[in-house]
Amino acid sequence: RLQRCKLPSYMKLCKKADFDSCVLANSAVAIKGLWNGDKKYKIPQIDPYKIIKVAIADSGNKNIALNLTFTDLVIHGLRSTKMVGSKTDFEKKHLEWDFEMPHLEFKGKQKTSGKFLLLPVQGEGPANFELDKLKAKYTIEWDLETRKGKQWMKFRNGNFKTDLEGLTVDFQGLFNGDKALGKNINTVINDNWRELYVSVGPPFAKAMATIVYQLIDGISKVVPFENMVG
C-alpha cells in the first residue's frame, strides 16, 4: 500500500522541467498544511514545536565562555515561514531551499554558567528567546534506493545556515534570583546579541535542520520517487 502512496493533498507533484518554480509557487499551501503535523507521514506538530534539550558547551571564545543547557523548549512562529528560493540538481542529487521567518520565539528553561564578555553569568530558570527577521538556507543531498521495483529517496547531510537582524533574550533565575544583577546581564547580552548568537546560533540551526528533515524524511519513506517528482 505504501508503494502507491501519493504526496499529501496540500503538496503539488512538480515536474523536473520546472521543478523549482513549481515548488516555490506552491510552497505557501504546503507550509500551511504541515504545521499541525500529519500522522500518515509521521510528521509531528511543527508549530508549536517542542525540543527536549539543547546543550551548548564553552566554545573556547575568549569573549564568550558559556555552558548553556536549554530544556523543554517550545518554538512558536514557524507557521509564518516563507520559502523564497529553491534550487534542485537532480544529477547531483542536491537541493537548496531558502526561507524567511519574520519572528520566532523560543520558550523553556535554562541553566547557565561561565562568562559573557568577561562578566560572570550563572543561574537557572525560565528562558525566552525572540529572533527577528531570520533568513535561512537549508541544503541536503539524497540517494535513490530501489525496493520492490520502485525507487525511494533517502536524504542525508542536511545543513541549516542562518542569519538574523535581531535577538532578544530574557534569562530569569540568574545569580540566585538577584533581579538587579539578572537585569543587568540580560541588558549586556541584548546589547551584544551577535556575540551570543555565535554560540547559540549553530545549535539552534541544527535543531531547525532536524525539523525540516523530519518533514521530508517522513514523506520520502512512504512516497516513492515517481510520486515525488513528475
Interval 155-171: pLDDT, tens = 998 999 999 999 999 99
The yes-or-no verdict on residue 84 having pLDDT over 50 is yes
Lowest mean pLDDT among 24-38, 56-70, 123-137: 56-70
pLDDT of residue 60: 67
**CATH class of the structural domain 8-228:** alpha beta
- Mean pLDDT of the region 20-27: 98
Torsion of CA 131, 132, 135, 141, to 10 degrees: 20
Q: Alpha-carbon distance 188 to 172, whole Å? A: 14
Q: Alpha-carbon distance 12 to 15, whole Å? A: 10
- Domain ranges, ordered by start, for the chain: 8-228
For 174, what's the count of Cα atoms within 13 Å in the CB-facing half-sphere?
Answer: 24
pLDDT of residue 82: 97
pLDDT of residue 3: 44
Strand 119-147 and strand 150-163: the pairing is antiparallel
Cα distance from N-terminal residue to C-terminal residue, the chain? 20
Q: What are the backbone angles phi and psi of residue 144, rounded to the nearest 5°?
A: -110, 125
Q: Using an 8 Å Cβ cutoff, are 182 and 174 in contact?
A: yes
Q: Alpha-carbon distance 125 to 179, whole Å? A: 12
Lowest mean pLDDT among 20-29, 36-45, 74-83, 127-136: 36-45
**Considering the chain, what percentage of its residues have pLDDT values greater than 90?**
84
The yes-or-no verdict on residue 2 having pLDDT over 50 is no
Q: Using an 8 Å Cβ cutoff, are 66 and 112 in contact?
A: yes
Q: Where are the beta strands (DSSP E) in 15-149?
A: 49-56, 64-76, 82-89, 94-116, 119-147
Strand 150-163 and strand 49-56: the pairing is unpaired
Q: Find the helix packing angle between 179-191 and 193-220, rounded to 10°.
A: 80
pLDDT of residue 220: 94
Q: Using an 8 Å Cβ cutoff, are 160 and 209 in contact?
A: yes
